[in-house]
Amino acid sequence: MTLVVGLGGTLRAGSTCEAALRIALDEAERAGANIQCFAGPQLQMPMYDPAAPDRTLEARNLLAALRAADGVIVASPGYHGGISGLVKNALDYTEDMAGDARKYFDDLPVGCIATGFGAQAAMTTIDALRAVTHALRGWPTPFAAAISVNASLFAEGRCADTGVESQLRTVGRQVALAAARAALPA
């Protein structure tokens, strides 16, 4: 089975961004993938320092999962027109993968999800996530979910808008199916 790793959210428990990520991962699991989620506090790591060789347990766990991943889903809130510092710092840790046989996200499908209080925040964050995915040698899936949130969109991890839920599930399904196709023997 393939492994899809999700990372994102905020430090706030039950954030809308984390809820969105978990819905996408649920769909990846329904499509046959094993999933692993790194959200909120699991991403609270020191600022990435390439000169410091020691890594926290959280950083080591994230890197081990990303090294084993067949697909990745990244979800970020739109903060001031871009990716949150928490998510960007977690992605910066992939620099430790530069010397690996598979560098960074080389040839992996990467689903992008952005949440924001308004369409502009969500779309600029999607653009940034796609740019980072390309820089990390990954393949952004054709569909990305740019979600304009409001206070009632998510409750207890559930999405109140079937259209938004469908978008999140599309991201999860595309990553899982692309990862499964890539794993087939040539």
Proportion of the chain above pLDDT 90, given as a percent: 76
Cβ atoms of 4 and 14 within 8 Å: the answer is no
pLDDT tens-place string over residues 150-183: 777 887 778 877 888 889 999 999 999 999 998 7
C-beta separation of 147 from 113 below 8 A: yes
pTM of the model: 0.95
Q: Which of 3, 23, 4, 11 is nearest to 113 (CA)?
A: 23
Which of 45-54, 73-82, 84-93, 156-165 is the least confident region? Answer: 156-165
pLDDT at 186: 66
CATH code linked to domain 3-45+55-183: 3.40.50.360
Handedness of CA 52, 47, 113, 7 (dihedral sign): positive
How far is 167 from 170, CA to CA, in rounded Å? 5
Domain boundaries, the chain: 3-45+55-183
Longest CA span, the chain: 47
pLDDT of residue 178: 96
Which residues, in sequence order, are CB contacts of 84 under 8 Å at separation 6+?
10, 76, 77
